[in-house]
Structure 1
Amino acid sequence: MPYTIDQSSRRAVLTGAGLLALGALPAWAAEAAAPSVAAAADLSSALPELASLFTKQTGKSVNLIFGSSGAFTQQILNGAPFEVFLSADESYVDKLAAAGKTEGPGVLYALGRIGLFLPKGSTIAPGGDLKGLASALRDGRLTRFAIANPDHAPYGRAAKEALTKAGLWAAIEPHLVLGENVAQATQFATSGSTQGGIIPQSLALTPQVQAAGSFALIPADLHGPLRQRAVLLKGAGATARAFFAFLQTPPAQAVFKRYGFAQPTGKD
C-alpha cells in the first residue's frame, strides 16, 4: 500500500474553528476582513506573487489558503466561507456550481503540466518518458516515490494516469508516498524523503526545486488535461470580486505563464 503522510502545509491553513468564526462575523466585518481564497496547492508559488501585485494595485489584500482541490470542494459544500476558489481541475467547480455554491461557471485561468523530478545524485535516469523510472523499478533501485494523493488532488490523478499509461502503476504503487496535496508531494520529492516524484511544472520552476535536482516534462498525451478553473463563491464581497477580475488581466496571466502554466485560448 502507498504511504500517506499527514503533514501540515508549510503555509497557514484556517482550522475548522477559524472558518466557523469567520463565517459568524457580521456582514460589515466580513467585508472589511481580507477575503479567504481557497487555492490548489500547485499555485503556492505563483499566487502569493499575484496577491502581492493585486495589493500594490488596489491597496486591498486577500487571505490565501492552499490545499487539494477535492478537499476544498468538500469544505465548500459543507459551508466553509471561502469567497474565491481556484481549482486545479474544473470538474470540482462544475460540482460546486451544480450544488448552487458558485456565482456562475467561473473562468478557465490556466492549463497545468506535470513532470518527473529527480534529486541531485539520483541513480535513476531522467526523462519525461519515464523509461528511467521503469528501469529502476525492474532492478529494485526505487523504493519510495512521491505523488499527490490521486483520490482528491488533480495533479496526483494526472500522475496516476501517466504511470498507468506507461505501464508502471502496479509496480510502483507499493512504493508510493502520497502527499495530501501536490505541494506536500513536492516537498517529499525534494527533501530526501523519497527518491523523486511527479510534481507540477509550476513548482518545479521555483529556485528551491531547481537547486534540488532535475525536472523533465511528461508528455501531455500520457494524462488528461489539467484544466484549472477559478470561480466566485456565493456571498463573495467586493474585494474578492476585484481579485477574481484581476486574475484575468494580462499582468496576472503573464505571472501564470512565467510559472509554466499554458494560457487558455478560445479553443480550450
Structure 2
Amino acid sequence: MYHWFKPWRVLSVLAALLFTSSLQAGELVRIAAASDLRYALDDIIELYREANPAANVQVVYGSSGKMTTQIINGAPYDIFFSADIAFPKRLEQEGLTATPPAVYAIGRIVLWSNTLDAEGLTLNDLTSDSITRIAIAQPAHAPYGLRAREAMQAAGVWEAVQPKLVFGENIAHAAQMAASGAAQVGVIALSLAKFPELATHSHYLIDDNLHNPLTQGYVVTRRGGDKPEAMHFADFMATEQAHSIMEQYGFVMP
C-alpha cells in the first residue's frame, strides 16, 4: 500500500532537516597561514572537509611577520601556520598560545622564471646584465625573503643584485610578480613552483646550505584553544594524508 506525503508534511520534514544541519555545522575556525602554503593548505582543507562535512574553516594567507603583529594586536585567528617557527615562539612569549610551537614542515627556495630556463640558472647568473629585475619577498617580515637574502649573501651576489630587486609583500606576491613578467626571475617557495600553473616552467633548487633552515611552525592561539574544532584541525595536519599533500608541494616533513 502506498503512502503519499501531504505538502505540509513535506515542508515540516525539510524544516527539521535544515534545523538538524544547522546544529551539526561546525564552529568557525579562522586560520592565518604563510603564503607559501596557499595551494598545499587549500588542498588539505578540501580533504579535511571531505572527512568532516560540517567543518567551517576559513584561511587568510599573508606574510608571517605581519600576521604575527596582527595576532598580537587582537586579530581573531584560531591557528597560525608560520613560514618561520620564530614567529609562533614570539606569540608563546606574549602568552597568546594554547599549544607550544610545533614544526610542521621544512620549506625550500628556488629560482623561477616565466621567460628564462630557470633550471639552467644559478645565483651567480643573477648578476648578468641580461637580468634586470628579480622578485623576492620583503625580508623585513617574510621568512622566504629573508632566506633569499641569506642565500644571495652566501653566494656573494647580494650587493650586485640589490639595484635589480623588486619586493613582494609576501612570497606569493613575489611569485605573482615573476609570473606576470614584472620581474624576469623570482626567488620563490618550491611549494609555489610546484603548483600546476607555475610548474609548466622550470626551476632551480637553491642549495639549502646557503641559508638558515626554513623551519615552519604552527600554534593554536589562545583564542583557538577554546574551540575543539581548531584543535581537531591542528591534529589533522599531523596525519599521513596531510603529510602526503605537503610532500607533493615540495615540503620536507620533520
Q: CA deviation at 1:61?
A: 2.6
Q: CA deviation at 1:33?
A: 4.5
1:223 aligns with 2:223: no
Contact between 1:41 and 1:181, CA under 8 Å: does it hold in 2? yes
Question: What per-residue deviation string (whole Å, max 9, x for no partner) do you get for residues 150-184 of structure 1?
Answer: 00000000000011111111111121110000000
Contact between 1:124 and 1:132, CA under 8 Å: does it hold in 2? no
Structure 1 CA distance, aligned partners of 2:232 and 2:176? 32
Calculate the TM-score normalised by the size of structure 2: 0.86
Q: What is the aligned counterpart of 1:244 among 230, 234, 244?
A: 234
Contact between 1:89 and 1:229, CA under 8 Å: does it hold in 2? yes
Task: Give the structure 1 partner of residue 120 of structure 2.
Answer: 126
* AA of the residue aligned to 1:55: R
Higher helix share: 2
Q: What is the aligned counterpart of 1:90 among 77, 85, 92?
A: 85
Q: What is the aligned counterpart of 2:40 among 42, 46, 49?
A: 46
Calculate the TM-score normalised by the size of structure 1: 0.81
Task: Give the structure 2 partner of residue 27 of structure 1.
Answer: none
Q: Secondary structure at the match of 2:104?
A: strand
Are residues 125 and 183 of structure 1, via their aligned partners in 2, closer, same or farther at CA, if it must alter by over 3 Å? Answer: closer
Q: What is the aligned counterpart of 2:223 among 201, 214, 235?
A: 235
Contact between 1:39 and 1:65, CA under 8 Å: does it hold in 2? yes
Stretch moving more, 165-174 or 80-89: 165-174
* AA of the residue aligned to 1:99: E
Q: What is the aligned counterpart of 1:179 among 160, 168, 181?
A: 168
State percent identity of aligned pairs: 40
1:193 aligns with 2:188: no
Task: Give the structure 1 partner of residue 6 of structure 2.
Answer: none
* AA of the residue aligned to 1:67: G
**Unmatched segments (≥5 aa) in structure 1:** 1-30
Stretch moving more, 187-196 or 65-74: 187-196
Q: Secondary structure at the match of 1:44?
A: helix
Alignment of 1:1-268 (within 5 A): 33-59=27-53, 60-120=55-115, 122=116, 126-127=120-121, 129-134=122-127, 136=128, 140-211=129-200, 213-236=201-224, 237-264=227-254
Are residues 63 and 125 of structure 1, via their aligned partners in 2, closer, same or farther at CA, if it must alter by over 3 Å? Answer: closer
Contact between 1:34 and 1:62, CA under 8 Å: does it hold in 2? yes
Structure 1 CA distance, aligned partners of 2:32 and 2:162? 30
Q: CA deviation at 1:32?
A: 5.3
**Unmatched segments (≥5 aa) in structure 2:** 1-24
